Amino acid sequence: MFKAILFDLDGTLLDIDMNDFLPHYFRKMMEMAVREGYEHSEQLVKQVFKSTEVMINNKNPALRNEEVFLEDFFTHWPYPREEFVDFFDRFYINEFPLLKQHTRPFPGIPEMMQLIMQKNLKVVIATNAVFPHLALQHRLEWAGVGHFDYDLITSYEVMHFCKPHTEYYLEIADIIEVKPHECLMIGNDIGEDLPANQVGMKTFLVENLLIDKGHGYIPDYRGTLDNLYWFVNFL
């Protein structure tokens, strides 16, 4: 029935509340900036927010998300690009792993992923492409599924579009060389994950940490993680 399974990460594979996680994330970034003698640490957070928003709204297929973010960020940030790109790299290597304490693994996720990996399906980590690969790899490890060989992880180094744009889902299908109607998108955010059905993908809405901001998308399937674990047996 399906040739590819696409998984959202946060709230789907990993028990994480981004409304709680992001303040800790930015606090760590500010603390590191202060330790290293950078002024305007509060402005740093504001500019990361602003440049992330620019990246999410971008639809230029010639620019990867990373390029869009960095170009906007360094247009407004007073420190040299080469110097502060290194700052970001060191942050994700040294500080980001300390945020694990603000997340929890969902029981059963590693076993489910192992089952799916045995089914001759392409598997994509289809998280919103606003983070570097290293940050996504950390979160996959926190979820207990960092050791699997995925066909694609949608980091900001790879992708040219973000959720909820339909171009994001079309790009995934193009990269893995599978037609959209042969894909199943699994996620917990109605507004970000269910737009996949606009390009012909089937969708499964995971309800454990459901995010519903009033969008009108209707999933093809829905249920708790326990229902999903049962469902994947028949893929």
Q: Please tell me the number of Cα atoms within 13 Å of 40 on its side-chain side.
A: 9
* Domain edge (last residue) among 78, 100, 122: 100
**What pLDDT score was predicted for residue 107?**
98
The string of pLDDT tens digits covering residues 67-91 is 999 999 999 999 999 889 999 999 9
Of 223, 170, 213, 175, the C-alpha closest to 191 is: 213
Closest-CA residue to 104 (of 209, 193, 6): 209
Kindly state whether residues 227 and 118 are assigned to the same domain.
yes
If asked whether residues 91 and 189 sit together in one domain, one would say no
**Domain limits at 160?**
4-16+104-234
CA 232, CA 235: separation in Å to the nearest integer? 5
Question: Higher confidence at residue 214 or residue 84?
Answer: 84
Average pLDDT over every residue of 90-109 = 98
Average pLDDT of the chain, as a whole number: 97
Q: What is the pTM of this model?
A: 0.97
Number of structural domains found in the chain: 2
Shared-domain flag, residues 73 and 87: yes
